[in-house]
A and B are shown apart, each in its own frame.
Chain A
Amino acid sequence: MAKGGRARSGSSSGLLAGSPWPDAARAAIVARAKHQEDGTMRISLTSAGIGLAAFLAMPVGEALADRLETVKERGTLIVGVRADYKPYGFLDPNGEIIGIEPTLAKDVADRLGVEVEFVPVVASNRMQFLEQGRIDLMIATMTDTEERRQVVNIVEPNYYSSGTNILVRKSAGITEWEELDGVPVCGIQGAFYNRKTEEEFGAEIVAFTGTAEVLTALQQGAAPPSSTTTASSPRGSARRNGRTWEMPLQTIDDAPWGLAVQHGEDNFYAFMAEVIADWHKSGIILELETEYGVENTPFALAMHEEFKDD
């Protein structure tokens, strides 16, 4: 076993990342990034009997009040968004969180007539923050899965969607998923595609804690050919070297993203369902994609078609 471990070593340093973005943004989006997943705790459901869970699951209070009323009384909507996931949620030079999702969150606050407050979350803590009541609403690039629906209340219709692809130096010449057999591929710890890429295609996943680490490992080491699944966020610097990088594979696992409220918040849920339908109807998501340099995704286009005549 130890040997197995050692064998991987060379790889890790590899992936090249930094320069990803080829024609980046577009590919990216189409290929959209998706990631992470993680940690979530479904503690309350599962943990019966496990002592550790007890603390983690403690509610923060105010769980019983209707969240929508609480928000209005407080005058502030607290939203968990990404701050490391350009263009969906990132920091501008002034340190403000901006991006497609923060803009949507602001829209929700405007509809409620309250101020918006952003809490940066990452894949591994976003569901916990919501469960514990630290945020009212989570719009954080989260893929909608059955497991997660057990933990948080994912609102339908879905507001967005993304799939999985790899970012790789053109010189690698990879064109099929099957060619990843035995190839080290950078991923993000907790991402749901790690297992699939490893199990079905035989890639050796080398997972780091965040997007920045993955891109750095890719850039500097460049060792392994490959890449992160999914292009994560196109970064400016990456764009410059775009010509050497590509996302050559057929995007797989097209999966919808879900924004979520706490379980039991039926009023809030109903409100958000209407808001999302309205987003699709008005085409604001398409506009935001354009504004942030992302090619319109098939999902957003299709939803706009579907809702616009309502």
Chain B
Amino acid sequence: MNRGVALELDSMRLAHYGNQIPCLICDEGNTLDAENCRNCYAPLILAHQARSKNTAPVMFAALGPSGVGKTVYLGMLLDMLSRQPKHLQLSARGGFSVTLQQSTLAALSRCEFPSKTPNEPDRWNWVHCQLRSSKHRQPVEMVLPDMAGEALFEEVDHPRSYRVIHALLGRCDGVMILIDGTKLQTGSIDEDYFTMKLLSHLTETSGGAKTPWATRPMALIFSKADQCESCFEDPAAYAQRHAPGLTRICQQRFHRHRFFAAGVAGACAMRHVRGEGEQLVPLRVEPRGIIEPFEWLVENLPT
């Protein structure tokens, strides 16, 4: 009898193999027991969990060059929203969704910044969570990946080199673009160019999308603002002063954008690490301006 049951289960598995599961990010069909999408390497657990709710999750992406603070921002945001008992709350769906905030806060509590996000998509931290807000009667399913800045700019420079990024940008509902406020303050024009390239890329990728990027909400966040406090006073004026090219492209092409300033470390010091040179370390954790951009994105979600 045991043997008969085993045969029946095997046939079930074969039937499941025939019924492929589409990747949540790129829609490519995958076998049921695959861990990552064979096309874009996004974790298929996202697709499994999304299927159980029958609604497509909202997707937000945090974009910006390497070292701008995407991981710290996302990790801090998730931790704050999962701890505060206020009108905006996030609850992780699955243990893997807590990893990003756990690793970020563990590093910050040791007075370190988290290590660089690897370029390989299957090693990124993905977050699948439920958002509860006063605006939505039902919890909203949400997916947030922590992408590597270098991979992102490889995709911008050579479109479709990272299929996961290409697919994600095509279907995400809003973006948080991080810009290093301290670099702008010192007169570096690289940040301005980086962001302009990214915005141009977004404009071009929205060709076939139902909602063009011009109408999708875009929060432009000056990161590390604790080290250039004038950011906090008027982020839009700060952008006008230090990133005129970026301001102009936003005004011309993106109707729903807003500038924000955010900081996590109250102050930083330089540390010398053998073999790696000088490294910036946070001297304390005092988040400021972290929730506001996300809250604005949620309020401006396309209906």
Indicate, yes or no, whether A interacts with B.
Answer: no
Spell out B's residues near A (CB within 8 Å). Answer: none
Spell out A's residues near B (CB within 8 Å). Answer: none
